[in-house]
Chain A
Amino acid sequence: MAQAAAVVQAGPSGYGSAASPSSSPGIDIARVSKTFLVNGAPVEALRDISLAVESGAFVSLVGPSGCGKSTLLRLIAGLETADAGVIRVGDRPIRRPGLDRGMVFQDHRLFPWLTVERNILLSLRRTSYSEKQKQKIVRDLIALVGLKGFEQAQPHQLSGGMSQRAAIARALAPRPDILLLDEPFGALDSLTRTHLQTEFLRIWKHEGITMLMVTHDVEEAVFLSDRVVVIAPRPGRIRRIVDVPLEKPRRRADGAFIALKEEILADLNAAEA
Chain B
Amino acid sequence: MTIAPVEYRQRLSPAFAWRWWAGAAATHAAAGLRRRAGLAATALLLPVLIVAVWWVAARYELVAPQILPAPPLVWATALDLIGSGQLQSELAVSLLRLAAGLAVGGTLGLLVGLVMGLSRTAEAYLSPTVRAVWLVPSLGWLPFFMLLFGIGEALKVVLIAKACFLPLMINSFDGVRNVSPKHREVARMLELGPFDTLRFVIWPSVLPHVLTGFRLSLSKGWQVLILVEMIASAAGIGYLMTWGRKSFQLDIVIVTMVLIGAVGWLLDRAALAVQTRATAWASRSAAP
Contacts and interface: CB of A to CB of B under 8 A. Distances in A.
A joins B in a complex: yes
Interface of A: 77-79, 96-99, 101-103, 105, 107-109, 111-114, 122-123, 125-126, 154-156, 174
Contact of B188 (A96, A112, A156): A96
Given A111-B183, A111-B200, A122-B200, A97 B188 contact: yes
Consensus secondary structure, chain A interface: loop
A159 to B, nearest CB: 13
Contacts of A113: 204-205, 207, 279, 281-282
Nearest to B185: A79
A156 B284 contact: yes
Given A97-B188, A102-B189, A113-B205, 12 more contacts: A78-B188, A96-B188, A97-B185, A98-B189, A99-B189, A122-B192, A122-B200, A125-B192, A125-B196, A155-B281, A156-B281, A156-B284
Interface in B177-229: 182-183, 185-186, 188-193, 196, 200-201, 204-205, 207
Contacts of B185: 79, 97, 109
B189 A112 contact: no
Contacts of B190: 99, 122-123, 125-126, 174
B282 A112 contact: yes
* 3 cross-chain pairs, A with B, having the tightest CB-CB distances, nearest first: A156-B285, A112-B285, A113-B204
Contacts of A105: 182, 186
A122 B189 CA distance: 11
B288 interface: yes
B204 A111 contact: yes
Interface of B: 182-183, 185-186, 188-193, 196, 200-201, 204-205, 207, 279, 281-282, 284-285, 288
Given A107-B182, A107-B288, A155-B285, A79 B196 contact: no
B287 to A, nearest CB: 9
A22 to B, nearest CB: 25
Contacts of B281: 112-113, 154-156
A24 to B, nearest CB: 18
A98 B190 CA distance: 6
